[in-house]
Amino acid sequence: MQSNVTSSGGTVKYPLLRKFRTQDNYYIYEGKSNRILRVTAAMYDIIDLLGQNDEEIASMLSDRHSVEEIWQGISTLRTMAQRYGLFAPGPLHRRAAHVTREEVVERLHEGITSLTLEVTEACNLRCRYCIFSGGYTNWRSHGRRRMSDVTALGAIDLYLDHCKDSDTVMVGFYGGEPLLNFDLIRRCCDYVKSRERDNRKHRDIRFSLTTNGTLLTDEVLEYLIHNNFSLSFSLDGPREVHDRYRVSADDRGTFEVVFQSIQRIYKEYPRYFEDKVLFNCTVTPTANLNSLAEFFGQYHHLFTGGKLTPVSLAPGNPDFIQKNPVYAERDKDWTELYHSYCAAHVRGVSNPDILNPFIRALFERNHLMIYKRPILDRATDQLGRINSCFPGARKLLVDVQGTLHVCERIDRHFPIGTVSSGFDADRITVLMNEFISVMDSEVCRNCWAVQMCNVCYHNGREGAFPEAAIHEECARYREGLEEQLRVHCSILDKNPSAFDYMESYEVA
pLDDT digits (tens, 9 = 90+) for 97-126: 999 999 999 999 888 999 999 999 999 999
Q: What is the pLDDT of residues 390-411, one digit of tens each?
A: 999 989 999 999 999 999 999 9
> Whole-angstrom Cα distance, residue 54 to residue 67?
12
Q: Is residue 347 located within the same domain as residue 419?
A: no
Q: What whole-number distance in Å separates Cα of residue 74 and Cα of residue 271?
A: 58
In the structure, what pLDDT confidence band is assigned to residue 165 with cuts at 50, 70 and 90?
A: confident
pLDDT of residue 305: 87
What residues are paired with 44 via a beta bridge? none
Quickly list H helices, 278-422.
Answer: 289-298, 300-303, 318-323, 330-347, 357-371
pLDDT band for position 350 (cuts 50, 70, 90): low
Residue 352, pLDDT score: 62
Q: How high is the pLDDT of residue 7?
A: 32
Last residue of a domain, one of 338, 371, 404: 371
Evaluate whether residue 406 is within a structural domain. yes
- State the DSSP code for 459: G
pLDDT exceeds cutoff 80 at 4:
no
Q: Is residue 59 part of a domain?
A: no
Nearest to 138 by CA among 421, 361, 411: 411
Strand segments, DSSP code E, in 51-198 are: 114-118, 168-174
Categorize the per-residue pLDDT at 41 as very low, low, confident or very high, splitting at 50, 70 and 90: very high
Residue 422 · residue 158 · CB < 8 Å: yes
Backbone angles phi, psi at 495, to 5 degrees: -145, 90
Lowest mean pLDDT across 25-34, 51-60, 196-205, 277-286 = 196-205
pLDDT at 432: 96
**Beta bridge partner(s), residue 28:** 19, 37
Residue 50 pLDDT class (50, 70, 90 cuts): confident
* pLDDT (tens digit per residue) in 314-339: 888 999 999 999 999 999 999 999 99
Task: In the chain, count H helices and then E strands.
Answer: 19, 13
51 pLDDT band (50/70/90 cuts)? confident
- What whole-number distance in Å separates Cα of residue 171 and Cα of residue 188? 9
pLDDT at 372 over 60: yes
The answer to whether residues 453 and 349 belong to one domain is no
pLDDT at 1: 27
| Banded model confidence at residue 11, pLDDT cuts 50, 70, 90 | low
Answer yes or no: is 65 within a domain. Answer: no
* Residue 62 maps to a domain: no
What is the SS3 string spanning 126-151?
CCCCCCCCCCCCCCCCCCCCECCHHH
Q: What is the DSSP letter of 381?
A: S
Q: How confident is the model at residue 471 (pLDDT cuts 50, 70, 90)?
A: very high
For 220, 235, 308, 360, the CA distances from 278, given in Å and listed in that order, are 17, 10, 6, 15
Question: Are 334 and 439 found together in one domain?
Answer: no
Nearest to 154 by CA among 404, 383, 332, 322: 404
Write out the residue range of the structural domain in which residue 359 sits: 110-371
**Residues 180 and 235 occupy one common structural domain:** yes
Q: Helix axis angle, 330-347 relative to 289-298, nearest 10°?
A: 40
Q: What is the CATH number of the domain that holds 360?
A: 3.20.20.70
Do the domain assignments include residue 261? yes
What pLDDT is attached to residue 315? 84
Instruction: Find all residues with CB under 8 Å of 474, minimum gap 6, and list them.
Output: 443, 447, 455
The per-residue pLDDT of the chain, averaged, comes to 94
CB 36 within 8 A of CB 492: no
Domain check: are 422 and 352 in the same one? no
407 found inside a domain: yes
Buried b vs exposed e over 468-494: b needs ≥16 C-beta within 10 Å? Answer: eebbeebeebbeebbebbbbbbbbbbb
Please state, for a pLDDT cut of 90, what percent of the chain lies above it: 88
pLDDT of 3 over the 50 cut: no
> Domain check: are 180 and 320 in the same one?
yes
Mean pLDDT to the nearest integer, 154-160: 97
Quote the CA–CA distance of 359 and 302 in Å, as a whole number: 15
Instruction: Verify that 420 and 304 share a domain, yes or no.
Output: no
Residue 116 and residue 157 in one domain? yes
Q: Say how far apart CA 168 and CA 41 lie, in whole Å.
A: 50
Please tell me what DSSP assigns to residue 332.
H
Quick one: 183 and 301 in the same domain? Answer: yes
Residues 410 and 351 in one domain: no
User: Mean pLDDT across the stretch 432-440?
Assistant: 96
What number of CA atoms fall less than 13 Å from residue 198's CA on the CB side?
8
Mean pLDDT, to the nearest integer, of 88-96? 95
Pairing of strands 114-118, 417-418: unpaired
Please count the structural domains in the chain. Answer: 2
> Which pLDDT score, from 0 to 100, does residue 505 have?
87
Could you report the per-residue pLDDT of 215-268, keeping only the tens digit for each? 999 999 999 999 999 999 999 999 999 999 999 999 999 999 999 999 999 999
Q: Looking at the structure, do residues 294 and 436 belong to the same domain, yes or no?
A: no
- The pLDDT assigned to 142 comes to 92
> What's the average model confidence in pLDDT over 418-424?
97
DSSP state, 249? T
CA distance 27 to 152: 53
- The answer to whether residue 508 is domain-embedded is no
If you count them, how many residues does the chain have? Answer: 508
Residues 331 and 429 both lie in one domain: no
Distance (Å, rounded) from C-alpha 287 to C-alpha 293? 11
* 67, part of any domain: no
The phi and psi torsions of 320 (rounded to 5 degrees) equal -65, -45
